[in-house]
Structures are given as C-alpha cells and as structure tokens.
Structure 1
Amino acid sequence: MVCSSDDGDLEQYASSVAHFSSQYGGEGTISYTVPNIIGPPSQPGVEGDFASSAVLVNVGFDTAVYVLSVRVFECYHPGGVCRLWARWEEPDGPRWTLLWRRRPGAQPEDHRQPFSPPLKILRRPVRQLRLELNCDHLGYYTGLDAVQLVGCVRPPSPARLLRGRPLRPLSARLFALMPTVLQPEELQDRVRELAELGRKAEEEERRQRRECPTPDSALLQLPEEIICRVLSCLDLVSLSRLSLTCRHLHRLCSDPLLYSQLDLQPYWHLVDTSIVPFLTSRASCLTKLDLSWCGNYGALSDADFCNLLSELGSRLVSLRVDACDWFNGLCMEWTGLFCRGLEELSLRSCRAVVDDAFWSLQYLCNLRRVDLYRTQVTAAPLATFIRNATGLQHLGLGLCERLQRLWHVCEALGECSADLRSLVLWKQRELSWAELRHIQSCRRLEELDLGWWMIQDGDLQLIAEHNRQMQQLDILGASLVRPEAVESVLSRCPDLRLLDVSFCAQVSEAQVALWRHLYPHCSIKRSYRPA
C-alpha cells in the first residue's frame, strides 16, 4: 500500500516478508504468524507475533525510497524492537546499515503508537528493512501489526533530511568563543585566538610525546603473554583492525587460540565468502562456531560452508546455524561426516534441510544439546538419532510440523535418554497421553515445554508424581487444565522455579496472585487476552 503525505513524501506499508527467524503461529495458519505484518494496521487479534525472545524479520516495500522515518506498530507488549536496519543494492551485492538501536533491556521512552525512532541519515534508496527484537525484559513476546516506511523517491535536500531530527549541541568552548553576531575586526580576533589555542595544543602534544612513550611502543614492550591476554578481550572486528597496525601485532592477532570460540551472529551483515580463508588461516583451534543469521541473500553458499567444515570441522564441539537459508541437505551431510565430535547443534529455522538429510544426525553420537525448532525433521531419522545419542540432555522440537508419529520419538526418549534434562514440544499437535507416559521415564527431566498442547488434569498429575525434580514447566494455552491440577504440581515439585500458565483460560489472575504468595520460590508467568 503506497500513498503520498501532505509534504509529498511516499508512505508505504510492508508488502512482503523476505526472511524471518521464528514466529508464534504454526506453518500454514493465519493467527500470530509473520505474514500478518504485511499491509496497514489491522484489528486486534490478527497481529503478527513471534516465538522467541530474540528474533528478526525482514520486510520489503514496493518502491525504493530515501528514508525519512519508519513507523513500527507494536500492538502487544510494546518495547521489543531493539534494532532497525536498512538494505540497499550495490553493484557488487547488497549492503546493510544500522539506522537505529536501543540497548537490550532498556525501556522505550513511551509506548505511543506508532513507534517512530530517530534514524541515522542514509543517502541510499531503500526497499527493505530489518527489525531485530529482544523481549527478555518484557512480560511476553512483542506483537508486530505493521511497519510503515516514509521517504521520497528523489534525493532529499539536507534541510528535509534534518527536519524533525535532534541536532548535536555545539562544543561549549567553541560556543563561548563565537557570539551570535561578530563584526569584521571581532572575527579576526576570534580567528587569532583559535589559532593560538591550536598552536598551544600542538606544543603540549609534542612535549607529552617527548616525556612519555607512545601507546604503541608501550604496548609492544609488554611480554607477549600479557599482550595476548589483552587481545583476548577484543571483539572480532577490533582484533582484525589491530592486526593491520604492524607486523608484530599482526602475528599476535593471528594466534589460533584467539579464535577458538567465535560468535559471528553480531556481524551477520559483514559475513561473506571471505570468512572461509580468514578462518582457515587463523582458527585451527576452533571449537565453537555460531553462524546464526549469517550469509543469507547469497553472501555464503553451501560450498563455502562445506569447505570450512573440511578444514576445521574435526575440532568443533558446538555449531549454531540458526535461520541460515543456505544450510541445506548437503551441509547437513557434511556436518555428519566431518563433525563427529559435536556436542551442541542448533538448526533453528533451517528450512532447506529436508527428507533424508536428517539421517546424518545418527552419526553425531556425542550430541548433548540439539535444537530443531521449525525444521522439517521427521520421526524415523530423529528416533534413530535418539537411540544412538545416549548422552542427550537437551532436545528442542518446537513447531516441527512434519514430525508425525511422535510416539516413536517419545518411546526412544523414554528408553535411551536417561540423562535428558530439558525437552521442548511446543505446538506439537500429535502429542497424546501415551507419549507423555514415555516422557515420564526420563526421571532427570528438569525443563518441559508443552505449550499449546491440550493437556488435561491427569497429565499434570503424572508430572507431579513422576518428575518431582522439575524446575521449569510451560503449559501455556492449556485451556482444559483446572487450578487444582496446577497447584498439585506446585506443591509436589519443590524445585520448580518457573511455571508458565499463559492463556490457560481456567486460571484466573487472582489464583496466580495467591500462588505467588504461597510459592515465592517459583516465578509464575501469566499473559492472557480474552477472545
């Protein structure tokens, strides 16, 4: 939807969703899914919502414009948007720039709708925006109803760009030297005064250089062990920049021990094919690698990833590739071939891995933590993997819509996963009482997510009887559960630290308040919107 404002600016709502990492609703449904963000704001009850406390969504617009403002309609638990990016095209590929950010956890200045943050000036036409959300500080996940981009097709004047933007104050010292109106002779005096200040500053700088060594020489005089200790505190970008200063620091900055654990997710907009030779030349000791959100839009390919694994995969114990469009069946097969020592694997929203590729999981017998949220895994390869990975402790299976015959999976868990500590079965509609009976055999289970599964009172009583060591239980959306059954869990599970009863229709706010008083050791979450 495109329209013009009184100033001649183009106002348009998002017309497409190019990419997203997670969503609250299931695939193929209408309620609480990311496509609801398309178009103008809608009525309450059909707004977009998200299934993670730190997510991203890329929205596209019909016409590329020079950005003047962005309006975000946060309709449910506002305050989750923490970063706003813009994408534009260059001859050698797309580029991203950060338009605005808020420190994670900081409350917004106000919750008025729409939310329109102050933006960085960008002199490039933009057709796509990226929103990052962090809802850890909120009571529940933020719902996004719409995103509006306001801009002009032609390059705007500087005055138009600065309209409505806060300007940085002038230096107090310079302001004191420059009165509002100066006569010609006064202007000459002020110029001579500024020149004298500059000359004195240069003399003071030269004196300090004679008396004290330069920072670079002082740093290089330290033992290499101390320098490496300092370098270990730097982020990846700072480390790369420092390596360009001199040969000695370049050698120290190339120490493989500095690249043993790499989290590249904060640099998703910088990662491309050049990361492969960079890591293979420096990261021979790499054990943990996080490529989440990296390499989309053709920046990385499956061949790049396979080349990287062939060089560095044998030492990896942790691999995360959440929401990576390029991670396909070939990448899954190479992971099973070269990363036999993996203990953690996260494939959240890796939709390109299909069918027989998941059989490669059976070769990763050392895995302790696996997250397959919103993947297309099926029951047969998953059950085979569970029977081989007897040390499995954490398994995430939220929103796996192709995971039919779930009783095979739960049976394998009950028979072979004695050390299982956490299990996420969020929105797994195939669950029944029989599957839950198998899960009760995992006597070390501490965290269980049964969100939006139609559990009943008897199911909760099973949990209270067989899993008294439970520390976290999520039963949100259990509309059939009565308060008496919930209280049986609270009374019989003394280690329970978190209980989520959001959207449990029969659990009232007054009842939750009473439980919070009777069981202060347990954090009880409740978010409810009547139909």
Structure 2
Amino acid sequence: MSSRETNIIPIEEVFKMRYLEQYVQTVVNYSSRYNNQCSYSYAPINLVGKYVKYPCYGDFPETYFLRSYGKWWKTSKASQKEYRPQDFDLLAAEDYVTLEFGSVVIPREIFIYEVYNPGAIVRIWGRLKTTPNWVLLWEGFPQKCAPRSRKFSPPLRKLNVLINLVRIEFNQNHLEYHTALDAVLLCGYQPESQFQYEIIKFTEVNILKALSTITVSDVENERKRDKDPIDNFSMLPNEIILKILEYLDLKSLSRCAQVNTRLNKLCQNQALYQNISLKIYWYLVDSKALEFFKKKIGNIKKLDLSWCNETQLSFNRRLHFDYYSKLQSILESSSQTITHLCLNNNYFVDDELLHRIAACTELKDLRLHHTFNWIRSPLDKLGHLVTLDLSLTNIIDQDLIQILISNPHLEHLVLDLCEKLVLIDSIVETVTLCNKKLKTWSSWKAYSFTSAGIRKFGSCENLEELDLGWCLMCRDPGDCLAAIANGCKKLRRLILSEWRGVTDQLLMPIIHSCKELTQIDLIGIKGITAESCEKALFLLPKLRLLDVSFCDSLRQHEVEIWREQYPHITIQRSHSDYS
C-alpha cells in the first residue's frame, strides 16, 4: 500500500453511512464459459444471487466454470503466442468476469465463494458503471490451495470510491483442473443521501488523480524539460540506444520519452512499435491512447487489443464513437502491413469493423474470440490466413465455407461454441478439399455433427489436434474413429468429451494407430472400461494427459493404481460431489 493511500481517511468515519451486504445482480461480461447458450450448467449466470453449493466441494453444474486450466491449452499450436513479450503481465491473468451489484457502495470487503480448485483469483477491480475509470482494489499471485471449498476474502485497498461493478481476473495456469465459483458477496458503505453521494464523487476525482500513474496517452501532454544535457547515454550512438529501447515495455518507453529531448525523439521511432500488445493495459486504453499509437505504427505487424473495451462502453454497450473511429483509422492505415490481429472479447467489433479487417490483405493470424456484434462476415476477402479463431461468435455456415475456400494455407481453425453453425459436416468436407495443411481443428460443443461428417477428418493427414468435445453427445459414432485413426497418424491431441456411444472396441483403433498422442479427453464416456484405459497408458509412449472424469464404469482405486504406475502421465478424475 502506498503512502498516499495510508493518508486517506475512510469516509464512513466522517459520515454516518449504512453498511450493506449484497450478492451479484447481473453478470455483465466474461471471457470464458463452459456452457452453451441454451444451458445453465456451469454458466456465468450461476454467479447471480446467493451461493447454492458452498461449503460443499466438487464439480457442480450449478456453479460457474472457467473453460481452461493448467498449461494444456498453452501447448496447443493454435494458442496465441505473445505479440510483444516485453509487455507481460506479472500475474499472468488469463480470464475475467465482470459483475454488477444492485446498490452503489464504497467497497470494504468482498467474499468470493470458490467450490472447486480454488486459488486462481489474481485481481479484483471496481467501477461505477456510469464512469469509465476502473480502480484496482486488490491483486496477488495465484495460490496453491487444499482441495476444499474456500470463502476468499482478500484485503481491499481502503479507497473512498463508489462502485457497483466488480471485475475478477483469473490465472489458472497452476491448477490441476477446472476452477468453479458459486457466488460473490460485496460489502461496503452506502451513501444515505444525494448530498453524501455528491461529496464522495467530488473527493473521488482527486483521489484517483493522486493514485494515477502515467499512461501511454500521457506522453503527448507531459514533457519534462532536459535539465542536464549530459546523461549516461550521451556518448552512445542512436543505433545502440534504439537496440536497448527494443527491450522495454510500453510504459517504460513512455517514461523514457520524458527524460530528455534526445530520448524523446528516439522513443518515437516506428521500429519500436511494430508489435503492440495492449491487453494488460486494458484499463488505460482510450481514444487518446489509440491516437498516440497511430502516429507511431506506420509499419505495425502485430496488434493485440484483447479486453480493451470495458472503459470505452457504457453499461448498455453503446459504442464510444471517438474510440471506435480511432480504431478504424488504425486498421485502415496499417492494412498493407499488419499480419497478426487479436480483438478478443471486444464488443466494438461489428459489421463495419469487419470490413476494415477484411481490407488487411496481409493478415495471417486473426483472433475474434467472443465478439458477436456482427452478423455477416466478409473475411473471405482475406487469402493468407494461417490461424483463425472464431470461437464464441455468430459465424454462419455459408460465410465460414467461403473463408475456408479463400484461405488454402489455413493451419489452425478454432470454432468452439459457434452455435450458429448448423451444417458443420459440409464445413468439414470443405476443409478436406481446400485446406490440406490443416493441423488444428477445434469445434467444442458443435452439435450439428454426424458420424459421417466426422469420418471425413480421416482425409486430413496433417491433423495434429482434434477437439470434438460434446459433438456426438447423443449419436452413434459408427466407424468414424477408425477412419480418423487410419488417416491422422500425426494426431497429438484428441478431445472426445461426452461421446456417450463410444466403447472399448470403437476406441481401440485410435490407441493402436495414433502413436503421437499426448492428450486424450474421454470425459463422460460411460462405455469404456479399465481395459481400454490401461492399453492407452501402456501403448501410447508420448501420452501425458488422460481425462476420465465421469467415466462411471471406472473405479477410483483403478485410477489411483494407474497414477502410481505412470507418474509421468496426468490422469484426471473429476468428481460430481464432495461433502
């Protein structure tokens, strides 16, 4: 805690205020979900209201589940590599959820009910929904916790700020399995009159100014005079200084630009801004920041604006015109140079912006995860895509087929939870004809598959990762696994969650033929026995992950024996209920 914060007198000691405890009223936003839109199982909406499972511990559909855990997702060749490694998040936040509470309070306590694999929470932010400024209330490193439920109550910063929105950030890298939250309770002091409210709002502005740090957009407005023209770099040539500056993050470059005139000029060099990642600065990115970068990114190649929309949108998600127009201008000016673009979890991505993206003719890597304010996609105008992530979007069959036809070099395709795809067998057929280089296919919870459509994956001889979780939940798989085993010899990762019709006999061709497999997910398959699992563990030399959660024919003591016999393999076994 800074000295400035210790000097703040809690406002409840000055005014008589009401202490209020309240649970979540609405889930505003999130970056990850396990459920499909028609299901409440594991859904973000389960955070609304009082807890229903705490203090029980276990895998409960009535709670909110985050999709990823551990490092297994990072090992996928389709996962995003850092565009600008210098701008790394020390706490490595991977996901977030934004929650609204019914009453405005000055936050003093928060209780987060974690009922499965706790310890992933790394940051808590607060904001009044009628203002754009987020305030950091707490941050800390992820924790390794015992396997029991936890009512997590970190010490919040004692700030006299009004909030009714809370944003929680997660880092699940260290977890052995999915984490689950049951509820969030916010406690604080509520103004008893409009007069109190206005007084607090007035003092809040001065508090935030005192606690604010220099942002990338402040560089244009704040120039420190060069009091000492002789500095440690005065004898170095510009080329050496530029090389040093390449290793700095964006905040450090901003500070260097204020040291003296020479460094200021060098910090404007476009070579320093070819790769930009603003994800960790999401709370600072505004129209001024975009305008600042626009002057420096004439040769930009990689741009990551993931999460950079929460301060630009009012609660009803109306677009902030100035910010939106600046982004359009950046895409237009860099349309001939940009090769990697990531706009994950941004509500400002609409039809018009997609047309701007489609004009970026050199794009190889495009990620639009959880963007759904667009209806029709013009992305078939692109022709050099290698990676395309359209998970949690409203992409439709005809548009996707045209994109696939236009991009013969496509290697990685992510379509998780794309619930508008109803002719996905036809999409697979297009892939077999037009995308011979495909290495990654992920269509988790795509329900329109048939076994005949899945059988066509056997023609994708370069396929290394195949995620078909929940795709044949209630259908007969036929001989599609045998076709995959026969044609996909390079397969490394296979997800078959909830393929309830799979038996030992149907799975055996995969075990005998796909010797490169490192990960197999068999969640919820009740027809497999210990025999097929033992053969997979013994016959697959590179296997590192086997998930047999909710495989009812397997016994826990069998799993424990396998864990002792194969300590180099992670064998997952989730449970439906612990007391």
TM-score by length of 1: 0.80
Q: For residue 409 of structure 1, report the CA deviation from its aligned partner.
A: 1.3
Give 2:186's match in structure 1, choosing from 149, 164, 171.
Answer: 149
Pairwise CA RMSD: 2.9
Q: Judge conservation of contact 1:460–1:489 (CA < 8 Å) in 2.
A: no
Q: For residue 460 of structure 1, report the CA deviation from its aligned partner.
A: 3.1
Q: How big is each residue's C-alpha offset from its partner over 1:206-232, in whole Å with a ceiling of 9 and x where there is no partner? A: xxxxxxx98970133323223222222
**Equivalent position SS for 1:28:** coil
Distance 1:61 1:378, change over 3 A: same
Give 1:115's match in structure 2, choosing from 145, 148, 152.
Answer: 152
Q: How big is each residue's C-alpha offset from its partner over 1:396-428, in whole Å with a ceiling of 9 and x where there is no partner? A: 111111111210111122333332222212122
Q: Find the aligned partners of 1:83 and 1:245 in 2 and give their Cα distance.
A: 32
Q: Judge conservation of contact 1:448–1:473 (CA < 8 Å) in 2.
A: no
Instruction: Compare CA radii of gyration and give the structure with the larger one.
Output: 1
Q: Judge conservation of contact 1:393–1:422 (CA < 8 Å) in 2.
A: yes
Give 1:124's match in structure 2, choosing from 161, 174, 186.
Answer: 161
Residue 99 of structure 1 corresponds to 137
Q: Find the aligned partners of 1:275 and 1:452 in 2 and give their Cα distance.
A: 42
Q: How big is each residue's C-alpha offset from its partner over 1:231-267, in whole Å with a ceiling of 9 and x where there is no partner? A: 2222112211221222211111111111111111000
Q: For residue 291 of structure 1, report the CA deviation from its aligned partner.
A: 0.6
Structure 2 regions of 5+ residues with no counterpart? 1-16, 70-93, 198-226, 314-318, 474-498
Matched, 1:228 2:242: yes
Q: Find the aligned partners of 1:473 and 1:290 in 2 and give their Cα distance.
A: 31
User: Which letter maps to 2:136?
Assistant: L
Q: Find the aligned partners of 2:438 and 2:273 in 1 and give their Cα distance.
A: 31
**Equivalent position SS for 2:330:** helix
Matched, 1:498 2:520: no
Matched, 1:313 2:335: yes
Q: Judge conservation of contact 2:116–2:149 (CA < 8 Å) in 1.
A: no
User: Which letter maps to 1:419?
Assistant: K
Distance 1:489 1:370, change over 3 A: farther
Distance 1:271 1:245, change over 3 A: same
Residue 323 of structure 1 corresponds to 345
Residue 135 of structure 1 corresponds to 172
Which aligned runs of 4 or more in structure 1 are off by greater than 6 angstroms? 109-112, 213-216
**Equivalent position SS for 1:62:** strand
Give 1:477's match in structure 2, choosing from 501, 507, 524.
Answer: 524
Residue 255 of structure 1 corresponds to 269
Q: Find the aligned partners of 2:171 and 2:371 in 1 and give their Cα distance.
A: 21
Q: How big is each residue's C-alpha offset from its partner over 1:65-106, in whole Å with a ceiling of 9 and x where there is no partner? A: 11111111111111111110011367xx41011111122x44
**Identity over the aligned pairs, expressed in percent?**
32
Residue range with higher mean Cα deviation, 129-138 or 423-432: 423-432
Residue 28 of structure 1 corresponds to 38
Matched, 1:64 2:104: yes
**Equivalent position SS for 1:220:** coil
Q: For residue 476 of structure 1, report the CA deviation from its aligned partner.
A: 2.7
Aligned residues: 464
Residue 484 of structure 2 corresponds to none
Q: Find the aligned partners of 1:412 and 1:466 in 2 and give their Cα distance.
A: 25
Residue 427 of structure 2 corresponds to 409
User: Which letter maps to 1:295?
Assistant: N
Q: For residue 284 of structure 1, report the CA deviation from its aligned partner.
A: 1.5
**Equivalent position SS for 2:169:** strand
Distance 1:480 1:414, change over 3 A: farther
Q: For residue 514 of structure 1, report the CA deviation from its aligned partner.
A: 4.4
Distance 1:120 1:340, change over 3 A: same
Q: For residue 521 of structure 1, report the CA deviation from its aligned partner.
A: 5.3
User: Which letter maps to 2:450?
Assistant: S
Q: Find the aligned partners of 2:364 and 2:569 in 1 and give their Cα distance.
A: 31
Residue range with higher mean Cα deviation, 422-431 or 511-520: 511-520
Give 1:80's match in structure 2, choosing from 106, 120, 128.
Answer: 120
Q: For residue 302 of structure 1, report the CA deviation from its aligned partner.
A: 4.0
Hey, which of these two has a bigger chunk of helix by percent?
1
Q: Judge conservation of contact 1:443–1:466 (CA < 8 Å) in 2.
A: no
Q: Judge conservation of contact 2:508–2:532 (CA < 8 Å) in 1.
A: yes
Q: Judge conservation of contact 1:80–1:141 (CA < 8 Å) in 2.
A: no
**Equivalent position SS for 2:157:** coil
- 1:270-289 equivalent positions in 2, closer than 5 A: 270-289=284-303
Q: Judge conservation of contact 1:445–1:467 (CA < 8 Å) in 2.
A: no
Q: Judge conservation of contact 1:346–1:370 (CA < 8 Å) in 2.
A: yes
Q: Judge conservation of contact 1:286–1:315 (CA < 8 Å) in 2.
A: yes
Give 2:50's match in structure 1, choosing from 40, 51, 63.
Answer: 40
TM-score by length of 2: 0.74
Residue range with higher mean Cα deviation, 269-278 or 128-137: 269-278
Q: How big is each residue's C-alpha offset from its partner over 1:459-492, in whole Å with a ceiling of 9 and x where there is no partner? A: 5345446644334333333344444444555555
